Structure 1
């Protein structure tokens, strides 16, 4: 019996080590992607996928790095595996700028057709007109944001082009909000069983991008939807953080980042930083250190607590402008 127990402990420990190694490679792959070192990013993803290749979001992100590295073969292979392992976001894949170089390749249409066939088989009982409406809203919401970020990176804050695209974004947000409010008021927070996962996520995106009064109005509805399985707890967490800061409270999950021009990026005022990862895990969010790395922030909770008064001062100055 002792030998048997020892065997099980060895197996468990090996499994934990592999899981941790896989995660570390994925984190490194993401980090290299963020600094546009796509070759290194692909290398780390390759190492991760030798351990396992079952997480659709990791496979999709790897495909984006491969496409940016002009490695079409790996990009299509990982997109294919991503679809096999649950990727469903057909609206996003069609507009993702990272995959732009793949769209002229013959394999592209095969990939889209495979995903569309999967979505069609899943959506037999969906409300098709409502799904189509929400997917169209999703595409419009994300396209203008991709354009805004591209111009922002190229021209910098304060440029006329940035302000111009920003105004277009605000106009589209207002129009999309009217459509989504009508759906919410008439149908409630429709779940993915009615419109599919991506169309369902559109409801959150539009409310997340709306003014505070609308966020306050629909947040209770979203909380109820989470309890019923009709919305994601992780998305609700992002909305709760944004509302908290707008109400001059500290955020709970650390999802909101300041990007003040001329200043380093930082996590906006956060309640109880010591236990943020515990709260994030409860709603399905990963460690804050992994999350903030996208903004080249190195998370150190003790340093953050020391800097928090100054960060709050900068945050308040930003609000006053």
Structure 2
């Protein structure tokens, strides 16, 4: 039987980000924001800077002129690539004064801004923001883990990897999976080195993305790696450095591999008879929602709606 976690190895990250990013007072960008950001980022990978700036602008307009600091930063990179220094300065000043951007190390080492004459102005401002708003952040580790975070989700979020049964180019999908597996292996090497040296790092130390990246990489690692770092994740949860929901997902994945059943209902597989998604067997299923609530997961009937499924809770 083909397991869901092997056929759709990107799912965990999708679950973590299903509700999107919130900005300011609980505001969530609309779908148009994300679609234009994805297009812009892809264009930048292919050095099509001018077209990228148009899609960054469309994204921000779709969200009432707002955007995440990371996306604003990337928009500044795109404008720098076009040589429009006025637009670069406008965005960077906005990042400094309104977004409280503080990642001076990333800015200093970014070749996109090598030709900015007033670079010291922004370095000084970003460093001041760092002291004011992110004093506990380890900037170097933040950047290392943020890169891993983006590499981990890069292939999993590609349209060709959709889990919902749309017709896709199988050859293209297999090519993406091969690249994803290479990236996963590289990320495991980097992440385990970090964990072995520093232990499990909190969001206060490496940012939200860096904190999530630790779990995501271990979740997507070979079984032996998952088992090795499970105690470290348990310790991190006890110390409020990781979420109980992350521990539940990893425990489910390990249990499915070892025992053929799960505890929290997070893992799915493909039914070979119908080619549809179904839940792996759940031990003590009548109490699964109580266990899910205890670790901060929504009811199972809500969770499976993400995969266009319906779940009827078992009764005692």
State whether TM-score is above 0.5. Answer: yes
The answer for unaligned runs of 5 or more in structure 1 is 1-33, 35-52, 96-105, 306-321
> What corresponds to 1:64 in structure 2?
31
> What corresponds to 1:76 in structure 2?
63
Cα displacement (A) at 1:264: 2.1
Please state if 1:274 is matched with 2:274. no
Please state if 1:132 is matched with 2:143. yes
Q: C-alpha distance in 2, partners of 1:163/1:73?
A: 34
Q: C-alpha distance in 2, partners of 1:239/1:250?
A: 13
Q: How does 1:122-271 map to 2 (within 5 A)?
A: 122-147=133-158, 149-150=160-161, 155-156=167-168, 159-259=170-270, 262-271=274-283
The answer for unaligned runs of 5 or more in structure 2 is 1-17, 37-54, 76-86, 104-128
> What corresponds to 1:117 in structure 2?
101
Contact 1:151–1:162 at 8 Å: present in 2 too?
Answer: no
Cα displacement (A) at 1:123: 2.4
* TM-score (norm: length of structure 2): 0.61
Contact 1:67–1:75 at 8 Å: present in 2 too?
Answer: no
Evaluate the alpha carbon distance shift between residue 269 and residue 151 of structure 1 in structure 2; reply closer, same or farther with a 3 A threshold.
closer
Deviations 1:125-181 (A, max 9, x none): 311111100000111111111126447766538x11111111110110000000001
Q: Which has the higher helix share?
A: 1
Contact 1:63–1:76 at 8 Å: present in 2 too?
Answer: yes
Contact 2:265–2:279 at 8 Å: present in 1 too?
Answer: yes
* TM-score (norm: length of structure 1): 0.61
Q: C-alpha distance in 1, partners of 2:153/2:181?
A: 12
Q: C-alpha distance in 2, partners of 1:270/1:94?
A: 43
Q: C-alpha distance in 2, partners of 1:201/1:174?
A: 17
Q: C-alpha distance in 1, partners of 2:33/2:60?
A: 8
Q: C-alpha distance in 1, partners of 2:214/2:65?
A: 29
Cα displacement (A) at 1:64: 2.4
Cα displacement (A) at 1:225: 0.6
Contact 1:63–1:78 at 8 Å: present in 2 too?
Answer: no
> What corresponds to 1:37 in structure 2?
none
Which structure has more relative contact order (CA 8 Å, sep 6+)? It is 2
Evaluate the alpha carbon distance shift between residue 258 and residue 75 of structure 1 in structure 2; reply closer, same or farther with a 3 A threshold.
farther
Q: C-alpha distance in 2, partners of 1:260/1:78?
A: 45
Q: C-alpha distance in 2, partners of 1:172/1:66?
A: 27
SS of 1:117 mapped into structure 2: coil
> Cα RMSD (Å) of the superposition?
3.8
Contact 1:123–1:196 at 8 Å: present in 2 too?
Answer: no
Evaluate the alpha carbon distance shift between residue 66 and residue 170 of structure 1 in structure 2; reply closer, same or farther with a 3 A threshold.
closer
Cα displacement (A) at 1:72: 6.5
Please state if 1:283 is matched with 2:309. no
